[in-house]
């Protein structure tokens, strides 16, 4: 079945540090890939997405590239801020009758200190 594996957290960084959160996946067919962010006490918000190989999703300074050869979708940001502290989820979605069903990774807690 489909699965998503994220690097284990928590990740603690100082403000303006470089961020990488690794994400690899296993899926049949050609999934769409997503990063969601969950701020404390809130629901999930879509951060970025990529729907086919070599696509790069970007938003709010975050980037991730869909790498089919390595089945990866690592999240990066060049300079994190305290406001980026949240839980980040990598997810995939396949098509067909299962369209819309997301498979999530376990989430990575990010804490950014001033």
Partner 1 sequence: GAVVSQHPSWVICKSGTSVKIECRSLDFQATTMFWYRQFPKQSLMLMATSNEGSKATYEQGVEKDKFLINHASLTLSTLTVTSAHPEDSSFYICSARDTPPSGGLNTGELFFGEGSRLTVL
Distance of CA 4 to the CA centre of its chain: 10
Question: Measured between alpha carbons, how far is 86 from 108 in angstroms, rounded to an integer?
Answer: 8
Q: Is 27 in the site for partner 1 (CB under 8 A)?
A: no
Question: Measured between alpha carbons, how far is 97 from 3 in angstroms, rounded to an integer?
Answer: 18
Q: How far is the CB of 92 from partner 1 (least distance, A)?
A: 12
Q: Identify the residue among 13, 72, 102, 111 touching partner 1 (CB under 8 A).
A: 102
Q: Is 63 in the site for partner 1 (CB under 8 A)?
A: no
Q: How far is the CB of 25 from partner 1 (least distance, A)?
A: 13
Interface of this chain with partner 1, residues 40 to 59, rule: CB under 8 A = 42-46
Beta-strand ranges (E) seen in 1-114 are 3-6, 11-14, 19-21, 23-26, 32-38, 44-50, 56-59, 62-65, 75-77, 86-93, 102-104, 108-113
Q: Is 107 in the site for partner 1 (CB under 8 A)?
A: yes
Q: Identify the residue among 21, 105, 110, 112 touching partner 1 (CB under 8 A).
A: 105
Which of 84, 63, 85 has the alpha carbon at shortest distance from 74?
Answer: 63
Q: Is 78 in the site for partner 1 (CB under 8 A)?
A: no
Note the residues at the interface with partner 1 (CB under 8 A): 36, 42-46, 89, 93, 95-97, 99-107, 109
């Amino acid at each position: 079945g489909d699965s998503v594996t994220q690097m284990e957290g928590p990740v603690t960084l100082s403000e303006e540090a470089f961020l990488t959160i690794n994400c690899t996946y296993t899926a049949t067919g050609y999934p769409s890939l997503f990063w969601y962010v969950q701020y404390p006490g809130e629901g999930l918000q879509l951060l970025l997405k990529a729907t086919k190989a070599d696509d790069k999703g970007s938003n709010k300074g975050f980037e991730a590239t869909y790498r089919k050869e390595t089945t990866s979708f690592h999240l990066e940001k060049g300079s994190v801020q305290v406001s980026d502290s949240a839980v980040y989820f990598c997810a995939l979605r396949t098509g067909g009758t299962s369209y819309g069903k997301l498979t999530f990774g376990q989430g990575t807690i990010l804490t950014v200190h001033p």
